[in-house]
Amino acid sequence: MALLSVKNLTLAYEAAPVVKDLSFDVSRGDNLVIVGENGSGKSTLMRALMGLKAPESGRILLGDGLTQRKIGYLPQQSAHAQDFPASVREVVLSGTLASGGRWFYRRDDLKKMRQALAQLGIADLESHSYQALSGGQRQRVLLARALCAAVDLLLLDEPTAGLDPEASAALYQTLLQLNRAGVTLISVSHDLSGALAGATHVLHLGHHSGWFGTAAQYRADFGQKGATPL
Give residue-wise pLDDT tens across range 16-68: 888 999 999 999 999 999 998 888 889 899 999 999 999 999 999 999 999 88
For residue 131, tell me if it sits in a domain.
yes
Task: State yes or no: pLDDT of 167 exceeds 70.
Answer: yes
We report the CATH number of the domain holding residue 7 as: 3.40.50.300
User: Does 168 share its domain with 228?
Assistant: yes
Report the domain count for the chain: 2
Q: Of the candidates 183, 79, 196, 188, which has an alpha carbon nearest to the alpha carbon of residue 138?
A: 79
Tell me the average pLDDT across 190-204.
88
Q: Mean pLDDT score of the chain, rounded to an integer?
A: 87
Distance of alpha carbon 20 from alpha carbon 207, whole angstroms:
9
pLDDT-based confidence at residue 230 (cuts at 50, 70, 90): very low
Give the structural domain span for 15. Answer: 1-66+152-230
Smallest CA-to-CA distance from 6 within 73, 72, 41, 57 is with 57
Q: Which amino acid is at 1?
A: M
CA 186 to chain CA mean position, Å:
5
pLDDT of residue 162: 82
* Full-model pTM: 0.86
